[in-house]
Amino acid sequence: MRRKRFTSVWDAIEGTPAQAENLKLRSVLMMALADHIARKKLSQSQAARLLGVTQPRVSDLTRGKIDLFSLDTLVNMASAAGLHVELHVRKAA
């Protein structure tokens, strides 16, 4: 049996490169938002008000429930938090 190597866990678990890229971007945004909340020492209720979402939504974010968030939603939340989101596109390896 031959072992297959992947560049990331997302490449290993997703069916297409496009799906893997989408999850990679969502993951980065979710980690940045969770880190921002932690650094500011915000409660989930405070974070919800800042981000313009409900407290259960912040709970989903901090618990890493990636399947519940779209890129658009995460970009909007990051902007509401005062974070600047940049996207760099380069040729795939």
pLDDT digits (tens, 9 = 90+) for 55-93: 999 999 999 999 999 999 999 999 999 999 999 888 876
Q: What is the mean pLDDT of residues 8-36?
A: 82
- Domain assignment present for residue 66? The answer is yes
Amino acid symbol at 72 = D
- Domain assignment present for residue 92? The answer is yes
User: For residue 71, what is the domain's CATH number?
Assistant: 1.10.260.40
Tokens standing for residue 17 = 């490169």
- Domain assignment present for residue 63? The answer is yes
Q: Is residue 12 scored above 80 in pLDDT?
A: no
> Cβ atoms within 10 A of the Cβ of 34, count?
16
- Domain assignment present for residue 57? The answer is yes
Domain ranges, residue 80: 42-93
Residue-averaged pLDDT of the chain: 89
- Domain assignment present for residue 88? The answer is yes
- Domain assignment present for residue 80? The answer is yes
**CA angle, corner 78, sides to 93 and 20, nearest 5?**
30
Residue 29: burial class (beta carbons within 10 Å; 0-12, 13-18, 19+): buried
Q: What is the mean pLDDT of residues 29-33?
A: 97
The predicted pLDDT at position 19 comes to 86
- Domain assignment present for residue 55? The answer is yes
